[in-house]
Structure formats: C-alpha cells, structure tokens
Amino acid sequence: MAEHSLQAFIVAVRQDPALQQQLSATSAADADEVAAIARQAGFEVRPSDLVNHAGGTLVDYEDEDYFMKPQWWELAG
C-alpha cells in the first residue's frame, strides 16, 4: 500500500506545478518535510517510503540525514 500511495503522489506532483513549487523550496529538502507535504495533499507517504523507493535513488545521504534530490519526482521512474 505504501508504494501505491507514493506512486500516486509522484503522479500528482508531476501534474501539479503548485506542488512542484512547494517541493522545490529549501524547506522541503528532507524526506520528513516531503512526507508532511504529501500528507497535507491527502497521500499516506512516510519518510521511509521516500528513502527506500527504488533503492534510494530519490535521496542523497549526508550526516545521518536524507535530503531529496532536486526534482526527485522526475527521477522516480
């Protein structure tokens, strides 16, 4: 179910420039913030869903934190 919800969120982001703008902001640089934005948009997405998706291709790891790659929704496949 988590993967399905994440995929639905990715589709929504690709179709919604306002969501893209929100997710491109510096404040949405980490997986926790992106998951919070997804929940606000009505999707059940956890930070771990983002980190684990496609073997970690959406995030960069740095000092025990996961930061989302720029325009990560385009990398989601």
Q: 46: domain range?
A: 2-72
**68 is a domain residue:** yes
pLDDT higher for 18 or 65?
A: 18
**23 is a domain residue:** yes
How much is the pTM?
0.89
Instruction: Kindly tell me the sign of the dihedral angle through the C-alpha atoms of 24, 50, 55, 77.
Output: negative
* β-sheet bridge partners, residue 30: 67
What is the total count of domains within the chain? 1
Statement: residue 40 has pLDDT above 80:
yes
Closest Cα partner for 43 from 23, 60, 70? Answer: 23
**55 is a domain residue:** yes
pLDDT at 2: 78
**47 is a domain residue:** yes
The average pLDDT across 53-57 equals 89
The average pLDDT across 10-33 equals 92
* 71 pLDDT tier (thresholds 50, 70, 90): very high
Statement: residue 73 has pLDDT above 80:
yes
